Chains A and B, each alone.
Chain A
Amino acid sequence: MITFMNNSDSEEEPCNERTSLMSAESPPVPSYQDGLQASEAGEAQAHRKRRTGSSRSPNNIADGDTSDSGVPARESALENEEEELTLKYGAKHVIMLFVPVTLCMIVVVATIKSVRFYTEKNGQLIYTPFSEDTPSVGQRLLNSVLNTIIMISVIVVMTVFLVLLYKYRCYKFIHGWLILSSLMLLFLFTYIYLGEVLKTYNVAMDYPTLFLVIWNFGAVGMICIHWKGPLQLQQAYLIMISALMALVFIKYLPEWSAWVILGAISIYDLMAVLCPKGPLRMLVETAQERNEPIFPALIYSSAMMWTVGMAKPDTAARGASQQTWDAAEDGRENHRSPLHADSEMSNTRSPGPTRPITSFEEPEEEERGVKLGLGDFIFYSVLVGKAAATASGDWNTTLACFVAILIGLCLTLLLLAVFKKALPALPISITFGLVFYFSTDNLVRPFMDTLAFHQLYI
Chain B
Amino acid sequence: PALGLFLFTIARDPLRIIILIAGAFFWLVSLLLSSLIWFIAVKASNPQDEPLQKGLLIFGIIFSVLLQEAFRFLYYKLLRKAIEGLVSLSEDSCSPISIQQMAYVAGMGFGLTSGAFSMINLLADALGPGTVGIHGDSQLYFLTSAFMTMVMIFLHTFWGILFFHGCEHQCWWEITAVIIMHLAVSGSTFCNPLYMGSLVPSYLLMATAATWAYLLSGGSAQNLRRFLLCK
Contact = CB atoms under 8 A, between A and B. Distances in A.
B22 interface: yes
A92 B14 contact: yes
A446 B19 CA distance: 29
A429 to B, nearest CB: 12
B32 interface: yes
Interface in A418-458: 436, 439-440, 442-444, 446-448, 450-452, 454-458
A45 B84 contact: yes
Contacts of A250: none
A397 to B, nearest CB: 10
A407 B64 CA distance: 22
Given A45-B81, A458-B186, A410 B22 contact: yes
A403 interface: yes
Contact of B82 (A47, A313, A314, A455): A47
Given A92-B14, A407-B21, A458-B61, A50 B85 contact: yes
Interface stretch (B89-97, B162-170, B204-212, B223-231): B89-97
A235 B122 CA distance: 34
A313 B12 CA distance: 8
Contacts of B148: 455, 457
A456 B15 contact: no
Contact of B89 (A50, A55, A393, A400): A50
B24 interface: yes
A60 B84 CA distance: 19
Contacts, number: 164
> Which among B36, B152, B193 has the greatest number of chain A C-beta atoms within 10 A?
B36
B222 interface: no
Interface in A83-134: 84, 87-88, 91-92, 94-95, 98
A49 B122 contact: no
> Which among A53, A56, A94 has the greatest number of chain B C-beta atoms within 10 A?
A53
A312 B186 CA distance: 43
B93 to A, nearest CB: 12
B17 interface: yes
Given A410-B18, A456-B190, A47 B81 contact: yes
The dominant DSSP class at the B interface is helix
A205 interface: no
A447 B39 contact: yes
Contacts of B60: 447
Interface in B130-161: 141, 144-145, 148-149, 152
A394 B121 contact: yes
The dominant DSSP class at the A interface is helix
Contacts of A440: 32
Contacts of A442: 39
Interface in B36-82: 36, 38-39, 42, 57, 60-61, 64-65, 68, 78-79, 81-82
Nearest to B118: A457
Interface residues of A, number: 55
A444 B32 contact: yes
Nearest to A40: B89
> Which among B12, B18, B22 has the greatest number of chain A C-beta atoms within 10 A?
B18
Interface string A368-403: 000000000000000000000000011110011001
Given A53-B13, A457-B152, A395 B120 contact: yes
Contacts of A60: 91
Nearest to B81: A45
Interface of A: 40, 43-45, 47-56, 59-60, 63, 84, 87-88, 91-92, 94-95, 98, 313-314, 393-396, 399-400, 403-404, 406-407, 410, 436, 439-440, 442-444, 446-448, 450-452, 454-458
Given A443-B36, A455-B148, 18 more contacts: A44-B84, A53-B13, A53-B14, A54-B14, A98-B21, A314-B12, A394-B120, A403-B25, A407-B25, A436-B28, A439-B36, A443-B39, A444-B35, A447-B39, A452-B118, A452-B122, A457-B185, A458-B64
Interface of B: 12-19, 21-22, 24-25, 28, 31-32, 34-36, 38-39, 42, 57, 60-61, 64-65, 68, 78-79, 81-86, 88-92, 96-97, 113-114, 116-118, 120-122, 124, 141, 144-145, 148-149, 152, 185-186, 189-190, 192-193
| A-B residue pairs, 9 tightest by C-beta | A49-B82, A50-B85, A95-B14, A447-B35, A53-B15, A45-B81, A395-B120, A91-B14, A455-B192
